[in-house]
Every structure is written in C-alpha cells, then in structure tokens.
Amino acid sequence: MKNPIILFAAAAALWAQDPRGTIAGKISDSSGAAIPAASVRATNVETNVVTTATSNAEGNYDLLYLLPGSYTITAERAGFKTWSKAANALRMADRLLVDIQMEVGQMTETIQVSARGEVLENSTAGLGQSLEARQIGELPLRSGSVSWLYAMAPGVIWQTLPFDGPWNIGDASAMSVAGAGTSSMDFNMDGVSNNSYSGQTAFVPPADMVAEVRVDTASYDASVGHTTGGAVNVTLKSGTNQLHGSLSAGISSGPMMTRTFFTDQFIYDPTTGPITPQKIKDNSPSVRWNRYSGVAGGPVIIPKLYNGRNRTFWEFGYQKHDRTRPISSFYTVPTAAERTGDLSALLALGSQYQVYDPFSIAPPAPAAFRVSLFRGTSFRPAAWIRPP
C-alpha cells in the first residue's frame, strides 16, 4: 500500500515560469481612433475577483496576472457606451488579444458582445498543447498518473511508458520532445520549479487536483531557456465562491486480472514441489490495485472573524493507492558444497568450467601471474595467466 498524497493549494505569485495569463488589446472608437484613459476590468466568473487596467495614450491596455479561467471583460469611458463581453476563456500562460470598439453614448448604456467563439492566442510564437480539467477528468489515466497526458502534445514520445503509479517520477519523466534526449524536460507547478534531478519531475499531483496541463514543445520564452527539450506546466485547482468537491475510485482486482505466462508454468513451492497450472488456477494469487481520491474547495470563511468570498480561497486533495500484486522471478543460489568452496559439480557440465580463486594470485613471474583453481574444478593445482 502506498502512502496517501495530501495536497493543499493556494493561488499565489511565485517564481519560475508564471502560469498566469494576460488579456491585452486596443480600445478605439468607430472611426478607429484610440481612446485613452478608458477603464478596463476583467472579472473571474467563478471567484468574482476583479483585475483592472487603464488604456494608455495609444489606447492599449494590459490585464496582468490572471489565473486560468473564464472572464468577463468590461470597458468604460465618459462619453461612450459601456462595452462588455463574457465567456473569455483564458488558459495557462496565455496572452489573449481582445480589441475593444466603443460607441459614442452614455455610460448607462451597454454594448453586450455575445460572440462565443474561441479567441486566437496569436501574440506568442510557442507551440504546445493544453488540456483542461474537463478533459483530464474524461480521459483514461492508467495507474491514475496525470503524466500519461503529456504525450498528447505534438512531438512528445514516451521512452518508457508510466505503467507505475504517480509516485514513480522516473516513469513520469521518461519522454523525448522534438528529437531532444530523454529526460530533457523542464517541469513547473503553479509557477514553481518542479524539477528533481537528472531531468526528472519531483512530484506528480493527483489528477483530481489538476486544473490544466500545458506541454510546450517549442518555446522561445527565456524562462525555459535552460532545457534542450520542452516544458511541462501544471496548474492546480483553486477554490471558488461556491463550496465544491468530488470523490472517485478506481477498482482493479478480481478474476479479470490476468497472470503472466511464467507465473502459470514455473511456480515452485519448496515445501510441496512444483505447482501445476491446474493448482495455480485453484489458488490464484491475489491481484489488487484500488485508487481513492477526494477533492474539496471553497472560500475561506471564519464565522464572525473573516469572510473570504471574492478574495481568499482554499483547496484540499487526497489520494490513496492500495496495491497488491505477485511478482515471479528466477534466482540461482549456491549449493551447500559450493558455499564451502567445492565447485566440483561444475565438472559435470564440461571441462571448460575452470573457476580461478582471485585471492590466490602469486607474486608475478616474468610476464605472468600464478593463480590457483578452486578445489574440485580441475585436476591441475595451478595455472599461469598472462596479463593483457
């Protein structure tokens, strides 16, 4: 049984590659003239956290440090109608360009842009793939490791598939990107370096805790310039104004679990002798791998002291692996005579088995060393060997 993984996530500004995104653009009137000093705000739909900015003399604005999610963008300026557009999906490290065209009128009037098409992220030259929480929850994850999703990005090839659980960081890192060497990735989690050693990830979070996975296979950002391969960025879920959670379980056990060919044919019990395939069938080894996960989150609320709605949130995740599996192996051990130094039984296999005693090397003769054979391996008491 593997130890449970307990994780607490909070939204914070951290070092390394920043997972937060930016919404930027230009504000103009119907003639195309820039509108300076316009107030722009982005409101996170799930948390109601508001980020504001003001357009400069050229009408340009930047809404910075936005967590991945859905945003409503609103622009206001005296003498113009209020402009608003909902459902702006911002993914990890995106820089979306949303240009705003305002109309002359009263601020009490509102222009509601209802277009729901995807906004093209065309302000960077990177190439990669992003997977959101819905896709992560719907796609099959063998062993419960989210690292299986890394290979969905173009140019990513697994050198060793992550058959083991999320605790096996070696399996979760054994991939090649765009022809680079194995284990040449840069791993980050919530903007913090998640690198262990030798190009391996330090931690694979429970899949239920992951909000988004982004694999950059061709990045020109200076923050990932120290790797020859790509970059894997993971963003964990954060709380919202609504209490939410999920429970899941994966059961792998019972008669549907298969045994290996070698287990069926060659099992040997030292007390009863060889076990026949029929006997193995009647006494099948127990195979079990059960996974249990739970996630919960919401606003930080301390009755009569603090109300964290629209400002402070918490998220908690738990995962447990309960695994039992038989392992069949072959071992060769010395006999009782061999443990006393008598290797004469090897002569029955042929006279070519000559085992020399490495501790019997005598002082060197001219261009040779004298070494004795182990007792019983030859009728010759000693031999001359020449160094290479």
Q: What is the mean pLDDT of each run of 10 residues along the chain (388 residues)?
A: 42 53 92 93 93 94 91 93 90 86 84 62 65 82 83 82 82 82 81 81 88 81 69 88 88 66 51 51 63 92 92 91 75 80 70 71 68 56 45
**Residue 211 counted as domain residue:** yes
**Residue 5 counted as domain residue:** no
Tell which of 65, 86, 113 closes a domain.
113
- Alpha-carbon distance of 326 to 303, in angstroms, equals 52
Tell which of 197, 220, 236 closes a domain.
236
Per-residue pLDDT, 63: 94
The CATH number for 43's domain is 2.60.40.10
DSSP codes of every residue in 132-178: EHHHHHHS--GGGBGGGGGGGSTTEEESS---S-TT-TTGGG-EEET
- Alpha-carbon distance of 203 to 9, in angstroms, equals 14
Do 255 and 222 sit in the same domain of this protein? no
Instruction: Residue 70: give the domain boundaries.
Output: 19-113
Own/partner long-range contacts of 302-311 (Cβ < 8 Å, ≥24 apart): 309/48, 309/241, 310/47, 310/48, 310/49, 310/241, 311/49
Q: How far is CA 123 from CA 25, 145, 254, in A?
A: 11, 32, 53
- Contacts of residue 53, defined as CB under 8 A and 6 or more positions apart, other chains included, come to 40, 41, 61, 62, 63, 64
- Alpha-carbon distance of 192 to 62, in angstroms, equals 24
Name the amino acid, one letter, at 75.
A
Do 256 and 309 sit in the same domain of this protein? yes
Instruction: Please give the torsion angle defined by the CA atoms of residues 200, 124, 214 and 69, in that order, rounded to the nearest 10 degrees.
Output: 140
Per-residue pLDDT, 365: 62
Do 91 and 153 sit in the same domain of this protein? no
Burial tier of 213 (Cβ tally within 10 Å: 0-12, 13-18, 19+): buried
Do 188 and 171 sit in the same domain of this protein? yes
Tell which of 280, 300, 324 closes a domain.
324
Per-residue pLDDT, 372: 74
pTM above 0.85? no
Question: 99: how many CB neighbours lie within 10 A of its CB?
Answer: 11
DSSP 254: S
**Residue 14 counted as domain residue:** no
Largest CA distance in the chain: 112
- Alpha-carbon distance of 90 to 71, in angstroms, equals 7
Per-residue pLDDT, 269: 55
Q: Which helix (H) or strand (E) holds 46?
A: none
- Alpha-carbon distance of 16 to 18, in angstroms, equals 6
- Contacts of residue 66, defined as CB under 8 A and 6 or more positions apart, other chains included, come to 20, 21, 22, 23, 42, 44, 51, 90
Per-residue pLDDT, 352: 66
Per-residue pLDDT, 297: 93
Per-residue pLDDT, 15: 40
DSSP 120: P
Structural domain count, the chain: 4
Helix-, strand-, coil-residue percentages of the chain, each rounded to 5: 15, 40, 50
